Amino acid sequence: MREANGAPPHQEARISLTTLPYDIITFDCYGTLIDWNGGITAAFQEAARVDGINLASDAIMAAYHDIEPAVEKQGYRPYREVLQEVAVRGAARLGWPLDANRAGFLAESLGDWTPFPDTNPMLERLKESGYQLGILSNIDEDLFASTRRHFTVQFDLLVTAERVRSYKPEYAHFLTAKEKIGDRRWLHAARSYFHDVVPARALGVPVVWVNREHSKPLGPERPDAEVENLEELVAWLDRAV
């Protein structure tokens, strides 16, 4: 069956602003849109090879995921400094005697971390369907600027750790976003259960867990939906129309 204008009903629903289930979708950036595992491991391995040391990807990420939240929990400081401390502590855990003068390699490499293959096509699909898009990220403004060039869409909202002087899972990103979003219907989508799903649930923000790594939930909080990638997120939104 087709509508009077000749378009199939499903196609008409996907582009009609009045039938979208949400008005704005915000994303975590690194790990959700940008392949930070690939970027982090490549940066560690390249820097360590200068010292004749080979590091395993799994060991690098295990150390990173353990150390970074602990450093952020110490209180706000620029993310560039967080990355430097994570590099020093991570290298020590991995048995690599990193010279402190070289600890800036993570921040220096961040602009080269690339999007997942599904990121830009699916963001474009969402934009074309009428959604506004935003970013809530534990990042400095200048570091995000080095990443922005990789995206093929413009974001309508950006909330960084530098702006709110705080790191997720603290609530400041979400509270600031809520002030800016107002009464618009809001969905958050993110890879990190710890940094995003837990605080979103605590604040009553609808959230989709983009569980790219097939992780297990670390607590009782459950997202509104769990998907493996952005293509599945878009399909879930299409079904909600």
Residue 203 has pLDDT above 60, yes or no: yes
Active-site residues, by number, are 28
Last residue of a domain, one of 63, 84, 112: 112
pLDDT for 19: 86
CA angle at residue 126 from 17 to 181, to 5 degrees?
65
| Peptide bond connecting 9 to the previous residue in cis, omega within 30 degrees of 0 | no
pLDDT for 231: 98
pTM equals 0.90
Rounded CA-CA distance 27/116 in Å is 14
Last residue of a domain, one of 60, 79, 112: 112
In CATH, what number is assigned to the domain containing residue 97?
1.10.150.750
Confidence of residue 18 (pLDDT cuts 50, 70, 90): low
The boundaries of the domain holding residue 153 are 9-35+115-240
**Amino acid residing at 226:** E
Measure the CA dihedral 91/87/168/208, to 10°: -70
Rounded CA-CA distance 223/211 in Å is 11
Last residue of a domain, one of 112, 140, 160: 112
Please indicate, yes or no, whether residues 138 and 194 belong to a single structural domain of this protein.
yes
Reported as a single tens digit per residue, the pLDDT across 79-127 is 999 999 999 999 999 999 999 899 999 999 999 999 999 999 999 999 9
Residue 186: CB atoms within 10 A of its CB come to: 22
Please indicate, yes or no, whether residues 58 and 28 belong to a single structural domain of this protein.
no
Across the chain, mean pLDDT equals 92
Domain assignment present for residue 66? The answer is: yes
pLDDT for 146: 97
Reported as a single tens digit per residue, the pLDDT across 132-150 is 999 999 999 999 999 999 9
Which comes out higher in pLDDT, residue 215 or 4? Answer: 215
Reported as a single tens digit per residue, the pLDDT across 143-171 is 999 999 999 999 999 999 999 999 999 99
8 A C-beta contact, residue 212 and residue 28: no
Rounded CA-CA distance 206/223 in Å is 7
Domain assignment present for residue 1? The answer is: no
| Token code pair at residue 84 | 């430097």
Query: Which of 8-17, 143-152, 177-186 comes out lowest in average pLDDT?
Result: 8-17
Please indicate, yes or no, whether residues 43 and 104 belong to a single structural domain of this protein.
yes
Reported as a single tens digit per residue, the pLDDT across 37-51 is 999 999 999 999 999
pLDDT for 8: 37
Total number of domains constituting the chain: 2
Confidence of residue 188 (pLDDT cuts 50, 70, 90): very high
Domain assignment present for residue 179? The answer is: yes
Please indicate, yes or no, whether residues 157 and 204 belong to a single structural domain of this protein.
yes
pLDDT for 230: 98
Domain assignment present for residue 4? The answer is: no
